[in-house]
Amino acid sequence: GSGSGSGQVSGVSCPSLRSALCAPSRVLHLRQLPADVSEQEVVSLAAPFGRVAKLIVLKAKNQAFVEMASEDAAAAMMNYYTTATPSIRNQPVFIQYSTHRELKTDNSTNQRAQTALHSGNMASSGEGRGLALAQRPVLRIIIENLFYPVTLEVLQQIFSKFGSVLKIITFTRNNQFQALLQFSDAVHAQHAKAALDGQNIYNGCCSLRIDFSKLSSLNVKYNNDKSRDFTRADLPTGELEPPAAFGVALPPYSAAAFPPTFHQHTGEPRVSMATVPSSLVSPPRVALHMAPPAGNSVLLVSNLNPESVSPHCLFILFGVYGDVQRVKILFNKQENALIQMSDGTQAQLAMSHLNGQRLHGNVIRVTLSKHPVVQLPRGGVGPEEQALTRDFSGSALHRFKKPGSKNFNNIFPPSATLHLSNIPSSVSEEALKELFSSSGFTVKAFKFFQKDRKMALLQLSSVEEAIEALVELHDRQLDHNQHLRVSFSKSTI
């Protein structure tokens, strides 16, 4: 019968018990696949061992034929799966050499097979890449375009579709949210990497970049929001312990790492691995389309510097992570403020990135408030108190008004390097450096973008200084109609 490829295959293979005696072939025969198996899932079994040349899936028979680019790759795959039975969605799959030396198929007529081959081969990165790493059960995961907070629970939910997740450690390094995740078996780690590398957790953001870790196991000392050993419910939470207590030497958690008590507010977002048709040019978006976490949109910010803080300054800083609607500095306790974002997701994001950062010399604390909205002052309050509450709902400075705006993909934790954009062609490097230094900031480095002189990177002496500079100079008028846009950069110079 013919399946999703247009090739002719008679389903002839060596008897499974004698598969060891069967002559090696580049073609492998897979049986007992799940009824609605996807091409992507079949490729994910083979991709860790080298490039997959051709693919035929016989859905009616629950079988597939995979032709590897080399006999070595096919042999490596057979040897590996002889000791560790492969499975797709917890269903064991039988695999053996086929009597076919090659597959006669025209995959170009089959978009799904082509897409699966392309993405699988991209993920396997290289012919028969050394299996030393591929045989480890620990994955290193980097999440890019972190527009929605991604919790340890969300990672567990996504990755456990591929096998039993034993342990997870999350941390922030180089301004990026990362995780180490250990499966019970290296094969599960391979499947997860092949299927998820390059995918988005939420529509259009939170992309997964996955590699095998050099570690063969994780040593988790505490069960809390940053680390979890699912095999040991007895571990302490150790909230106040230094991060060095982990078995892996991790950098100190920066403020961009998610604060304790984080998962209490996010609820359990649902993951549906809906496959979305994709072009071959971009990585396939088997978007994991999770519902972004909902929840309270009002933040309580404490330990502000009452001498320096203003509603406008909080509007600009928190506006990097969402559209600020209202700001109220409390009249009787001016080190505290309430900030109302557009929705709960933006509030979570601002909290995860700004809690623990320094503003005007003070380390600020950001938590979710009990208040559902920020009330505007009633009549009869004095002008001083009135001035401490501002409504910004109609502001032209909102960064996320346009659905699908590029700004959604450029949200990064505070860093010492700022991204400048909307620079008029009349403004020189010297003029921009002077703008920052005359405002009291120390410019360490500057670089225009090669392809687009409207953008530049500018490095200051510290994250704290960059926060001050962003608050002061974002939207500064540079010529008669162009205003400077400032955000935090993920790159350094």
What helix, strand, coil percent values describe the chain, rounded to 5?
Answer: 25, 25, 50
Q: Output the pLDDT for position 261.
A: 27
- Alpha helix (H) ranges present in 125-178? 131-134, 152-159
- List pLDDT tens digits, range 330-385: 999 999 999 999 988 788 888 888 988 999 999 999 988 888 899 988 878 888 88
Cα R_g (the chain), whole angstroms:
27
Helical pair 186-196 and 152-159, crossing angle rounded to 10 deg:
100
Instruction: Supply φ then ψ for residue 447, to 5 degrees.
Output: -155, 125
Helix H, strand E, coil C: the string for 182-246 is EECCHHHHHHHHHHHCCCEEECCEEEEEEEECCCCCCCCCCCCCCEEECCCCCCCCCCCCCHHHC
Give the pLDDT score at 260: 30
Instruction: Return the pLDDT at 22.
Output: 67
Domains and CATH numbers, the chain: 16-128 (3.30.70.330), 136-266 (3.30.70.330), 298-391 (3.30.70.330), 415-488 (3.30.70.330)
* Residue that the structure tokens 């990362």 belong to: 178
DSSP helix/strand/coil, 19: coil
* pLDDT tens readout for residues 35-76: 888 888 898 888 877 788 899 999 889 999 999 988 888 988
Residue type (1 letter), 19: S
CA-CA distance, 305 to 360, in Å (whole number)? 6
Cα distances from 472 to residues 42, 294, 328, 436, in angstroms, run 54, 31, 19, 10
pLDDT under 50: residue ranges of the chain: 1-8, 10-13, 15-21, 125-132, 240-287, 289, 291-292
Nearby residues of 14 by Cβ (< 8 Å), 6 or more positions away: 21, 22, 96, 97, 98, 99
Which has the closest alpha carbon to 97: 2, 26, 187, 10?
26
pLDDT for the residue numbered 198: 86
Query: Please, what is the end-to-end C-alpha distance for the chain in angstroms?
Result: 58
